[in-house]
């Protein structure tokens, strides 16, 4: 019975027939009536209601690491010492420093270079730099 | 780096190294004094232990073959504790665009071509 109803609804003239004959629930009658109504109208283009394509206006600027834009040099031992453990002198990993890939590599290369050349101590952090502002927090790594 | 000598000694040692550089065909651009300070660790060289030293930075342009000969020469110099040769890298940090979020899902599976 449902199949026959669907076929007949395509033709607008048969609307009243369906309404009269309908012994089925009123909900299905209402649906058919709505469908019939839309086919009576002109062909509405389906593209008017689509959202306008644009770049995400709420896009946040890309996150920057602490050293973005700062030149890393093997000579400034103070900067390099900030990324080194004060107890053992070991270089902190990426998950602790929070630096991006490029800068982490640059820092670790610079630190190793400073070790060899004799600018920076290897197994401890220079005591004059112990009270510097803390960039890497071991207790709460991001 | 030089051990702790009197200033005229240091000056003569510097003069020697720069003359040696120029002999081998290098053009010395700049000489910087990075100060005299205590070394980060004890360095023993030429049967001596050094704890203090003067740091000097020499900018020069020269052929790459100069490096091995100069290292040899400076290794024999009693006044030089630790000679080092580095490339003068022109640093450019203007294009740092920040951390670009990586799509880990794509990286997990290898793309079979």
Nearest CB neighbour to B39, from listed A64, A65, A118: A118
pLDDT over 90 at B10, yes or no: no
How much is the pLDDT for A109? 93
Q: Comparing A82 with B105, which gets the higher pLDDT?
A: A82
Select from B23, B79, B25, B78 the least CA-distant residue to B56: B79
In chain B, what residues touch A119 (CB-CB under 8 Å)?
Answer: 40, 55
Best to test chain A binding among B98, B101, B102 (most A CBs inside 10 Å): B98
Confidence tier at A43 by pLDDT (50, 70, 90)? low
Select from A98, A88, A103 the least CA-distant residue to A137: A98
In whole angstroms, how far apart are CA B91 and each of A70, A71, A80, A136, B88?
Answer: 10, 7, 17, 25, 9
Select from B56, B51, B49 the least CA-distant residue to B38: B51
**B97 close contact with A: CB closer than 8 A:** yes
List pLDDT tens digits, range A102-129. Answer: 889 999 999 999 999 999 999 999 899 9
In chain B, what residues touch A120 (CB-CB under 8 Å)?
Answer: 40
């Amino acid at each position: 019975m449902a199949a026959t109803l669907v076929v007949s609804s395509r033709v607008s003239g048969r609307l009243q027939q369906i309404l009269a004959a309908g012994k089925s629930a009123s909900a299905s009658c209402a649906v058919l009536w709505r469908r019939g109504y839309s086919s009576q109208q002109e062909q509405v283009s389906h593209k008017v209601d689509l959202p306008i394509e644009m770049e995400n206006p709420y896009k946040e600027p890309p996150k920057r690491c602490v050293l973005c834009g700062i030149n890393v040099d093997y000579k400034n031992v103070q900067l390099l010492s900030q990324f080194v453990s004060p107890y053992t002198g070991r270089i902190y990993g990426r998950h602790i420093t929070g630096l991006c890939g490029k800068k982490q590599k640059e820092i670790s290369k610079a630190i190793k270079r400073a070790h060899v050349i004799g600018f920076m101590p290897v197994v401890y952090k220079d005591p004059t730099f112990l009270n510097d502002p803390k960039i890497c927090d071991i207790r709460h790594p991001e | 780096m030089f051990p702790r000598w009197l200033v005229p000694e240091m000056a003569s040692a510097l003069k020697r190294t720069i003359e040696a550089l120029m002999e081998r065909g290098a053009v010395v651009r700049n000489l910087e004094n990075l100060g005299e300070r205590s070394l980060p660790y004890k360095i023993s060289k030429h049967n001596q232990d050094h704890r203090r030293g003067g740091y000097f930075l020499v900018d020069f342009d020269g052929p790459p073959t100069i490096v091995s000969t100069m290292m040899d020469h400076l290794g024999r110099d009693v006044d030089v504790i630790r000679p080092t040769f580095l490339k003068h890298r022109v640093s450019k940090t203007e294009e740092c665009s920040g951390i670009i979020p990586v799509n880990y899902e794509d990286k997990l599976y290898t793309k079979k071509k």
